[in-house]
């Protein structure tokens, strides 16, 4: 079995799993994950007061929504 066969095997197994199945499989190996509805839900930022990286969540509207909106505005202006 070569690498391409292994990739196919992986894809086939993954295709049979729902998002909930995958989250449950990771939970079973003691890893807390989530399925993002779009884009990244968390990002790291250097906190100058504590002098360490902290994980922050994107707040609604998401960054991707804001970027899309910005693109639309630019398109509207261009038109």
Phi/psi at 31 (5° precision): -125, 125
24 binds another protein (CB under 8 A): no
The whole-angstrom separation of Cα 35 and Cα 17 is 13
Lookup: tokens for 39:
């884009």
When the beta carbons of 1 and 76 are compared against another protein, the nearer one is 1
* Least gap, CB of 79 to another protein (angstroms): 33
8 binds another protein (CB under 8 A): no
The whole-angstrom separation of Cα 35 and Cα 43 is 15
Q: Which residues bind another protein (CB under 8 A)?
A: 1-3, 6-7, 9-11, 13-14, 19, 22-23, 25-26, 29-38, 40-42, 55
């Amino acid at each position: 079995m070569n690498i391409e066969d292994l990739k196919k095997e992986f894809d086939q197994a993954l295709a049979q799993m729902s998002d909930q199945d995958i989250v449950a499989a990771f939970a079973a190996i003691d890893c807390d994950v989530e399925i993002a509805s779009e884009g990244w839900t968390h990002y790291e930022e250097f906190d100058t007061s504590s002098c360490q990286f902290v994980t922050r969540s994107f707040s609604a509207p998401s960054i991707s929504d804001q970027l899309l909106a910005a693109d639309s505005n630019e398109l509207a202006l261009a038109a």
